[in-house]
Amino acid sequence: MRLVRTEDAVGHVLCHDMTQIVTGEESDGPRFKGPRFRKGHVVAPEDVPVLLSMGKRSLYVWELEPGMVHEDDAAERMVALVAGPGTRTSGVPSEGKINVLADRDGVLLVDSARLSAVNAVDEVMVATRRGGFPVREGDLLAGTRVIPLVISEGQLARAEAAAGDEPLVRVEPFRLRTAAVIATGSEVAAGLIEDRFTPVMVEKLAAYGIETVLRSTPGDDRENVVAAIDEARSEGVDLIMCTGGMSVDPDDNTPGAIRAAGARVVTYGAPVLPGAMLLVGYFDEPAGRKHARPVPVLGVPGCAMYNKATVLDLVLPRIAASVPLTKSDFVELGEGGLCLGCPECTYPHCPFGR
């Protein structure tokens, strides 16, 4: 930073806001008072008369030396590391900041490891929403900027290297369209109690554009549950959801039925409360069938019937977008996987209402 004559400041970067006061014809005070030029502004020739009229005979400036990049130009390069498919930027940088917005409805995916690698580089930053949750077109997803007014080319290049070749965030659209809900339980099958589970699941699925086209109540017998799953597969639905019968009681046969039906189970159990007994698997459909992608099958624990937010809500957005889930995806849910039972749950804006 150095002090220069205003006439010599063209091409340099202002270190401070320049306040301008514009008085009106009336005598009751100024009509305007505020920043005329913001910190970080690059002084242009046409700015010099304005600055002089404001009484600014000299200015503190950063010099754009070779190898240095202005914050606005750096922001353009930073946002290129962030914005992936299904996103758009907020336009030109403002005071060195630029945002990333959702360009479609879907699930936000963030590469957490590479995001951390970028933020480990000094003098740059990227802040995002938590990945794995649904977003709507126009939602703010991320913001990025460099910390100083000017940054070295080398430091910016280190951030670009840390980000790698793929964008840090993307929005995958919801792809599943149809589902079958299989409500287990002998008491439901016998009509002794009303099936209250299926309507809850139908509503949750509808939020992602998934229509429940098949409903069944096969009871608890494993063979009957397998037959219901087979029927759902023959109907060509995009998602099969089995509700109830997920605990370790001897007469809870849903996990065994899902396995017996031929599903590839990714996990039975998740480090999340409520919902630890969730099962997630896939049917790898053979070539020539309606689905070119695996069909997910879920074993949903009973808590999802009466808790507003459970483990199901943490994974359903990705399932609805046909994002493959692995065991490690569930392992990572342990941190932040405890619902505090907030009276005013704000899910899905924040995991478990926090």
- What is the per-residue pLDDT across 308-323, written as a single tens digit (0 to 9) for each? 889 999 999 999 999 9
DSSP bridge partners of 98: 144
pLDDT value, residue 127: 97
Question: How large is the average pLDDT for residues 149-164?
Answer: 95
CB atoms within 10 A of CB 206: 12
**Least confident interval from 9-13, 156-160, 173-177, 296-300:** 9-13
Percent of the chain with pLDDT strictly greater than 90: 64
Q: Is the pLDDT of residue 288 over 80?
A: no
pLDDT of residue 188: 78
Look up the pTM and report it: 0.83
C-alpha distances out from residue 206 to 36, 107, 177, 215, 269, Å:
50, 15, 9, 14, 25
**What tens digit of pLDDT does each residue of 109-136 get?**
999 999 999 999 999 999 999 999 999 9
Does pLDDT of 26 surpass 60? no
- Mean pLDDT along residues 89-112: 93
> What's the confidence (pLDDT) of residue 353?
45
pLDDT at 205 over 70: yes
pLDDT score of 13? 84
Write b or e for each residue in 240-265: b if 16 or more Cβ atoms lie within 10 A of its Cβ, otherwise e: bbbbbbbeeeeebbbbebbbebebee
- SS3 of residue 111 by DSSP: coil
What pLDDT, on the 0 to 100 scale, is given for residue 42? 86
